Amino acid sequence: MQVELLVGKLHAATVTECRLYYQGSVTIDRDLSDAVGLLPHQKVDIYNINNGERFSTYILEGKRGSKTIGLNGAAARLVQVGDRVIIAGFGTFTREEALKHEPRVAVLDEHNEIVSTGH
């Protein structure tokens, strides 16, 4: 049996850019994605805290230390710069792996600085 579980989550990230005429994806500062174990090209769900929109896309690596959370392509229509979002990445695990798995979560402030971590 395979089980899909949360791998990592960036909670309350602030959208720093929207680029409508770009291939669809979310650009995330590599330091932030590393902090919660998310990988470039990994599928993620994004939940817009401001307006309730929910959608899926994939991660593009952003410059380390930039604090970038950028929505690209069609997803740019679902957010505005300054919106707070939850970015959740999932992975597939065997039952045995799932029983030992602990997701990594980082809560961010309005400047995309990590203010707390945990699971």
Residues catalogued as catalytic: 25, 58
Token digits of residue 23 = 């291939």
Could you give the CA distance from residue 85 to residue 76 in angstroms, rounded to a whole number?
13
DSSP string, 79-108: --TT-EEEEEEEEEEEHHHHHH---EEEEE
45/52 Cα distance (integer angstroms): 13
